[in-house]
């Protein structure tokens, strides 16, 4: 297969920037397929070429298969990288690319259907003898049948979208009285987010850890893994902090789970980057799902394994990436990633939109930043509020935690609220420091908004002086400071601290 000269990116934000950077290093041009709301963003400024594929609504732009295909062709792209989210696990999109003569950078449509659909994946896993959480994955989707199955499994149970991910279409049911409402809600959300209302039910493991393995299928079909990540810190089933490797695995358990991850990937004839997710409780692991795409948290694996997964994806799509049997890769050191969201940590995480003011990510050894927005960019209400990822590496977990706390304290984001204070409190919590957190960590210790710190008298004087300077100085204005803060640009930019 010939080398790509130009790749289209069917995505936005920090993952679009990540792909553009990988392409730049490989001498490949890029075409950003963007919505009207993302004109002028960092990825827009960096791409070789841009093609607008529709309005802000995702159904009319980022989830619109014909628009993405037409945009890629109009941009002269030979291949499409879907990033993560949106169409990245959509088998119909992979097929549409193939029909249009464009290479889909990812697994085949057949592999996506076999592994990406949660129900099909579980059927495949049963054939392979992998341990599964007790549940119902049948085709009968009537509410009465699903309620009966939930009762048979035994509460609490969790209902999930068959084609889902990212916590969407996922509802916890603790008793029969709330079963109907929660199942119907999950079906509605699944249909809206993934185009299919199909759901399945699992026993809810309430003391579990979330462990996942980064798998990769090379150009010849050989599957290996790049070890594990732990993602137990989750809010509403969405990950907030990830790390590699997991502090919870023994060598023997790591070997068993790694072999199980590769086994199911080989059954699905997998090529490219993917993730096999497990729940771990009381020393036993259960297959959760397979994500047939690049993961948000892939940088922590790259940091400890010394690999570039996006480049490897592109080389695999070109038919060039083959594992070197002489090269044995093992993890080195420890890496942690924090997702920086535009939200107010003092009001329970409500979204915080607006224009970014001053933004600084402090450089230093073992620090990595991935972001899609810079000073002057607008955080809109249309998409996921994640504005950046902060990743650190150090020689061991304890040092990595301390480095992450230090980096977050040094980071500056003005213009919107961020969850940085929230993250610092999580990283400082004894359960996290000891590595004993489970998927209920957030709801157990952080279900209420964190307390907003009081400004010291010294800080108040600094703010008051700054307000005076912004208004042209003058002691006579000082006593009017409180009344004038509504119009003050300082007030706008100060919010992000």
- For the chain, report the end-to-end CA distance as a whole number of angstroms: 50
**CA-based nearest residue to 462, from 497, 426, 416, 410:** 497
Distances (CA, A) of 354 to 41, 46, 377, 387: 14, 22, 8, 12
**CA-based nearest residue to 349, from 193, 189, 235:** 235
**CA-based nearest residue to 213, from 261, 256, 171:** 261
Q: How many CB atoms lie within 10 A of CB 401?
A: 21
Bridge partners of 50, per DSSP, are 32
The two three-digit tokens of residue 154, written as one number: 């035994």
Residue 455 per-residue DSSP state:
P
Q: How many CB atoms lie within 10 A of CB 270?
A: 25
CA-CA distance, 405 to 408, in Å (whole number)? 5
Distances (CA, A) of 286 to 294, 296, 488: 22, 22, 54
- Active site (annotated) includes residue 367: no
Give buried/exposed letters for 183-196 (b at 16+ CB in 10 A, else e): bbebbebbbebbee
CA-CA distance, 476 to 474, in Å (whole number)? 5
Give buried/exposed letters for 56-73 (b at 16+ CB in 10 A, else e): eebeebbbbbebbbebbe
User: How many helical (H) and strand (E) elements, i.e. helices and strands, does the chain have?
Assistant: 18, 23
C-alpha torsion angle, residues 1, 295, 253, 117 (rounded to 10): -80
Q: Would you say the C-alpha torsion 10, 12, 15, 18 has a positive or negative sign?
A: positive
Q: Which of 18, 113, 293, 368 is catalytic?
A: 293
Distances (CA, A) of 136 to 130, 159, 394: 16, 9, 43
CB-based contacts of 210, cutoff 8 Å, min separation 6: 230, 231, 232, 234, 239, 277, 278, 279, 280, 288, 439
Positions marked catalytic: 293
């Amino acid at each position: 297969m010939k080398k790509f000269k130009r790749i289209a990116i069917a995505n936005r934000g920090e993952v679009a920037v990540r792909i553009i950077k990988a392409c730049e290093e490989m001498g490949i041009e890029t075409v950003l397929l963007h919505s009207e709301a993302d004109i002028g963003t960092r990825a827009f400024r960096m791409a070789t070429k841009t093609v607008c594929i529709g309005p802000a609504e995702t159904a009319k732009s980022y989830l619109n298969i014909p628009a993405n295909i037409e945009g890629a062709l109009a941009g002269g792209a030979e291949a499409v990288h879907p990033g993560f989210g949106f169409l990245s696990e959509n088998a119909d999109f992979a097929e549409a690319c193939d029909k249009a003569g464009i290479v889909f950078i990812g697994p085949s449509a057949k592999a996506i259907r076999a592994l990406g659909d949660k129900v099909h994946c579980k059927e495949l896993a049963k054939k392979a003898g992998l341990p599964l959480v007790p549940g119902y994955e049948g085709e009968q989707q009537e509410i009465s049948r699903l309620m009966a199955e939930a009762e048979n499994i035994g509460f609490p149970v969790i209902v999930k979208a068959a084609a889902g991910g990212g916590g969407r279409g996922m509802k916890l049911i603790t008793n029969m009285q709330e079963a109907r409402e929660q199942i119907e809600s999950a079906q509605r959300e699944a249909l809206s987010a993934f185009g299919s209302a199909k759901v399945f039910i699992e026993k809810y493991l309430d003391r579990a850890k979330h462990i996942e393995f980064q798998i990769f299928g090379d150009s010849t079909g050989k599957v290996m893994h790049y070890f594990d990540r732990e993602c137990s810190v989750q809010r509403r089933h969405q990950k907030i902090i990830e790390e590699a490797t997991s502090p919870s695995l023994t060598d023997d358990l790591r070997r068993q789970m790694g072999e199980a991850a590769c086994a199911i990937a080989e059954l699905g004839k997998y090529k490219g980057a993917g993730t096999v997710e497990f729940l771990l409780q009381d020393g036993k692991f259960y297959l959760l799902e397979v994500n047939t795409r690049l993961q948000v948290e892939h940088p922590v694996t790259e940091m400890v394994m010394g690999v570039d997964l996006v480049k490897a994806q592109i080389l695999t799509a070109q038919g060039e990436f083959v594992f070197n049997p002489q090269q044995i890769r093992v993890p080195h050191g420890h890496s942690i990633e924090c997702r920086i969201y535009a939200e107010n940590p003092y009001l329970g995480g409500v979204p915080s939109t607006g224009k970014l003011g001053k933004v600084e990510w402090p450089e230093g050894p073992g620090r990595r930043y991935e972001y899609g927005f810079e000073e002057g960019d607008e955080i809109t209400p249309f998409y996921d509020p994640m504005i950046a990822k902060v990743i650190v590496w150090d020689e061991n977990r304890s040092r990595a935690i301390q480095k992450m706390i230090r980096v977050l304290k040094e980071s500056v984001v003005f213009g919107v609220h961020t969850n940085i204070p929230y993250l610092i409190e999580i990283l400082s919590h004894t359960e996290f420091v000891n590595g004993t957190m489970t998927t209920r960590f957030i709801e157990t210790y952080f279900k209420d908004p964190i307390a907003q710190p009081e400004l010291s008298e010294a800080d108040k004087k600094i703010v008051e002086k700054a307000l005076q300077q912004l208004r042209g100085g003058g002691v006579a204005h000082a006593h009017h400071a409180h009344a004038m803060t509504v119009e003050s640009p300082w007030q706008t930019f100060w919010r992000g601290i």
